[in-house]
Amino acid sequence: MVPIVEISELYFSYDNKNLAINNLNLTIYEKEWVCILGHNGSGKSTLAKLLIGLLEPLKGAIKVNGKILSQDTVYDIRRETGIVFQNPDNQFVGSTVADDIAFGMENQQISREEMKERIDKYIRKVRMEAYLQHEPHLLSGGQKQRVAIAGALAMNTKILIFDEATSMLDPQGREDINTLIQELKNDGDKTIISITHDINEAMLADRVIVMKDGTVMTAGSPAEILKDEALMNDCGLDVPLTVKLSQELKKYNIIDDIYVKQEDLVNSLWEYNLKK
Amino acid sequence: MGIQFEKVNYLYARGTSQEKAALIDIDLAIDLHGFIAIIGHTGSGKSTLIQHMNAILQPTSGVVRILDKTIVGGKKNRDINIVRKRVGLVFQFPEYQLFEETVEKDIMFGPLNFGVSKEDAALKAREALKWVGLEQDFLSRSPLNLSGGQMRRVAIAGILAMEPDVLVLDEPTAGLDPQGQKEMMEMFYNLYVNQHKTIILVTHDMNFVAQYAKRIIVLNDGRIVYDGDTWDLFANYELIKKYHLDLPDITKLIIDIENKLGIKLDHKINTVENLAQALVQALGGANHAR
Amino acid sequence: MLDNIKLGQYLHGDSWYYRLDPRGKLVMSTFFIVIIFMANNWITYLAATLFTLLIVLTSGVPLKYFYRSIKPIVVLIFFTFFLNLFFYRTGTPLPPLNIIINKIIVIIYGVFVALLITFRFTKVIDRYIIPKIFKITTLVFILINILLSYGLNYTEFSWSFHWIIYKNALINGGYIILRLILIISMSSLLTFTTKPTDLTLAIEHVLSPLKIFKFPVSELALMISISLRFIPTLLEETQKVLKAQTSRGADFTEGNIKDKVIQIISLLVPMFIISFKRAEELANAMEARGYIPGRKRTSLRELRWRFTDNIYVLSFILLTAFFIYFRS
**C155 and C25 within one domain:** yes
Q: Is the pLDDT of residue B32 over 50?
A: yes
Q: Are residues C188 and C235 in the same domain?
A: no
Q: Which of B135-149, B158-172, C251-265, C282-296 has the lowest mean pLDDT?
A: C251-265
In terms of domains, do C164 and C273 share one? Answer: no
Q: Are residues B232 and B254 in the same domain?
A: no
C116 touching B (Cβ < 8 Å): no
In a domain, B232, yes or no: yes
Query: Is the domain of B252 the same as that of B237?
Result: no
Distance CA C115, CA C138 (A): 9
* Rg of chain A (C-alpha set): 20
List the strands of the sheet with A59-64, edge to edge.
A19-29, A3-13, A59-64, A67-68
Domain co-membership, B231 together with B273: no
C104 and C234: one domain?
Answer: no
Give a yes or no: residue C2 inside a domain. Answer: no
Q: Mean of the pLDDT values across residues B170-189?
A: 92
Is the pLDDT at A184 greater than 60, yes or no?
yes
Nearest CA in chain B to C260: B113
Q: Can you give the pLDDT at residue C110?
A: 66
In a domain, C7, yes or no: no
State whether C233 and C313 are in the same domain: no
Q: Which residue of C has its CA nearest to B101?
A: C269
Q: B190: pLDDT confidence band, cut at 50, 70 and 90?
A: very high
Q: Does one domain contain both C20 and C39? A: yes
Interface ipTM > 0.95: no
* pLDDT score recorded for residue C142: 60
Residues C71 and C142 in one domain: yes
C202 and C120 belong to one structural domain: yes
pLDDT at position B125: 95
pLDDT number for residue C101: 60
* pLDDT at residue B216 is higher than 50: yes
Indicate if the pLDDT at residue A131 is higher than 90. yes
Q: Could you write out the DSSP letters of every residue in C242-292? A: HHHHHHTT--SSSS-HHHHHHHHHHHHHHHHHHHHHHHHHHHHHHHHTT--
Q: Is A109 within 8 Å of C296 when comparing Cβ atoms? A: yes
Identify whether B4 is part of a domain: yes
**Same domain, yes or no, for B236 and B269?**
no
Q: What is the DSSP string of A111-159?
A: -HHHHHHHHHHHHHHTT-GGGTT--GGGS-HHHHHHHHHHHHHHTT-SE
In contact, B212 and B185? CB cutoff 8 Å: yes
**Looking at the predicted structure, is the pLDDT value of residue A268 above 70?**
yes
> Is C293 within a domain?
no
Least confident of A46-60, B145-159, C150-164: C150-164
Q: Give the 3-state secondary structure of residue C173.
A: helix
% residues pLDDT > 70 (chain B):
97
Q: Are residues C319 and C190 in the same domain?
A: yes
Q: Are residues B14 and B67 in the same domain?
A: yes
Residue A191 CA to residue C68 CA, distance in Å, equals 56
- Least Cα distance to B200 among A251, B192, B61, C203 occurs for B192
**C155 pLDDT tier (thresholds 50, 70, 90):** very low
On whether residue C295 sits in a domain, the answer given is no
B189 touches chain C (CB under 8 A): no
Inter-chain residue contact C282 with A90, CB threshold 8 Å: yes
| Residue B126 falls inside a structural domain | no
Q: Is C240 among the domain residues?
A: yes
Q: In what order do the strands lie in the sheet with B215-220?
A: B87-90, B166-170, B198-202, B35-39, B215-220, B223-229
Show Cβ contacts of residue B133 under 8 Å, excluding neighbours closer than 6 positions: B153, B183, B187
Provide mean pLDDT across the span B195-199: 94
Specify the pLDDT at position C128: 46
B25 is in which domain, residue-wise?
1-80+202-245
**Residue C251, domain extent:** 218-288
Q: Does residue C300 belong to any structural domain of this protein?
A: no
Structural domain total, chain B: 2
- Number of helices and strands in chain B (H, E): 11, 10
**pLDDT tens digits along C184-229:** 999 989 988 988 888 888 998 999 898 888 888 888 888 888 888 8
Q: Give the domains, in start order, of chain A with CATH numbers.
A: 3-239 (3.40.50.300), 240-276 (no CATH)
CB contact under 8 A, C248 and B159: yes
pLDDT score for C160: 38
Domain count, chain C: 2
Mean pLDDT is lowest, of A88-92, B55-59, C173-177, C286-290, for C173-177
In a domain, C5, yes or no: no
Count CB atoms within 10 A of the CB of residue A80: 19
Give the pLDDT band (50/70/90) at residue A275.
confident
Q: How far apart are CA A115 and CA A205, in angstroms?
A: 31
Question: Measured between CA atoms, how close is A196 to chain C, in angstroms?
Answer: 18
Return the higher-pLDDT residue of B76 and A210: A210
List the single best residue of C292, C300, C302, C304 to mutate versus A (max A Cβ within 10 A): C300
Tell me, yes or no, whether B211 lies in a domain: yes
C10-14, C41-45, C307-311: lowest mean pLDDT where?
A: C10-14
Domain of B14, CATH number, reads 3.40.50.300
B128-154 pLDDT, tens per residue?
999 999 999 999 999 988 988 999 999
pLDDT tens per residue, range A146-157: 999 999 999 999
Whether C127 has a pLDDT exceeding 60, the answer reads no
Phi, psi of A162 (to 5 degrees): -110, 105
Closest CA of chain B from A73, distance in Å = 33
C153 plus C176 within the same structural domain: yes
> By a Cβ cutoff of 8 Å, what residues of chain B touch chain A?
41-42, 147-149, 174-180, 182, 204, 246, 249-250, 252-253, 256-257, 260-261, 263, 272-273, 275-276, 279-280, 283-284, 286-290
Q: Do C248 and B110 touch (CB under 8 A)?
A: yes
pLDDT band for C122, please (50, 70, 90 cuts). Answer: low
Within-domain flag for C264: yes
- C177 and C202 inside one domain: yes
Angstrom distance (rounded) from CA C312 to CA B20 = 42
Query: What pLDDT does C3 receive?
Result: 39
Tell whether C99 and C193 lie within a shared domain.
yes
